[in-house]
Amino acid sequence: MGKLDGKIALITGGFEGMGLVTAQRFIAEGAEHVFITGRRQELLDEAVKIMDRKKVTAIRADASKVADLHTMHNIIEKKKGGLDIVFANADSSPQIPGSKRHDINMRAQLAGHLTGIRHAELEKISAALNLPPPLEEGRHNKRDKELLPVVQSFTSKSMSTAIQEAVSAARTTDLTVSGDGTWQTRGFSSKHGAAALVSVSGSPKVVDIETCSKTCNICIGAESLLQSETAEAQAKYDQIITTHQCGKNFDQPSGNMEASCTLKMFQRSQKKYGVRYVKYVGDGDSKTFSVLKKQKPYKRIEIEKLEDINHFGKRLKCVLQVIKRQCGRTKLSDGKTIGGKGRLTVQIFSKLCGYTGFYTENIMISFDNERLHSAKKEHMRKQRKLVNLSATNIDTSEEDNTTASDADNLGETSDEDNAGQSDDETSDEDSDDTGDEENDDDLDQDVEHLYYNPKSRKWKDSDEDN
- 375 belongs to the binding site for Zn ion (CB under 5 A): no
- For helices 103-115 and 137-170, angle between their N-to-C axes, nearest 10 degrees: 70
CA atoms within 13 A on the CB side of 126: 20
- Of 80-88, 144-152, 208-216, 355-363, which segment contacts Zn ion by CB under 5 A? 208-216
- 216 belongs to the binding site for Zn ion (CB under 5 A): yes
Shortest distance, CB of residue 240 to Zn ion, whole angstroms?
9
The one among 85, 90, 246, 309 contacting Zn ion by CB under 5 A: 246
Shortest distance, CB of residue 195 to Zn ion, whole angstroms?
21
- 240 belongs to the binding site for Zn ion (CB under 5 A): no
Shortest distance, CB of residue 151 to Zn ion, whole angstroms?
21
CA proximity to 180, closest of 36, 311, 59? 311
- 111 belongs to the binding site for Zn ion (CB under 5 A): no
Q: Give, in degrees to the nearest 5, the angle at Cα 293 between 289 and 299.
A: 140
State which residue has the least CB distance to Zn ion. Answer: 216
What is the rounded distance in angstroms from the CA atom of residue 221 to the CA atom of residue 215?
Answer: 11
- 206 belongs to the binding site for Zn ion (CB under 5 A): no
**Which amino acid does the sequence have at 406?**
D
- Of 109-117, 139-147, 198-206, 245-253, which segment contacts Zn ion by CB under 5 A? 245-253
Long-range contacts of 407-413 (CB under 8 A, 24+ apart): 407/318, 407/321, 407/322, 407/325, 410/314, 410/317, 410/318, 410/321
How many residues touch Zn ion under the rule CB under 5 A: the total is 4
Shortest distance, CB of residue 238 to Zn ion, whole angstroms?
13
Shortest distance, CB of residue 166 to Zn ion, whole angstroms?
35
- 219 belongs to the binding site for Zn ion (CB under 5 A): yes
**Which amino acid does the sequence have at 331?**
K
Interface of this chain with Zn ion, residues 133 to 192, rule: CB under 5 A: none
Would you say 194 or 216 has its CB closer to Zn ion? 216
Would you say 143 or 248 has its CB closer to Zn ion? 248
What is the rounded distance in angstroms from the CA atom of residue 362 to the CA atom of residue 374?
Answer: 14
CA proximity to 313, closest of 352, 360, 363? 352
Q: How far is CA 366 from the centre of its chain?
A: 24
Binding site for Zn ion (CB under 5 A): 216, 218-219, 246
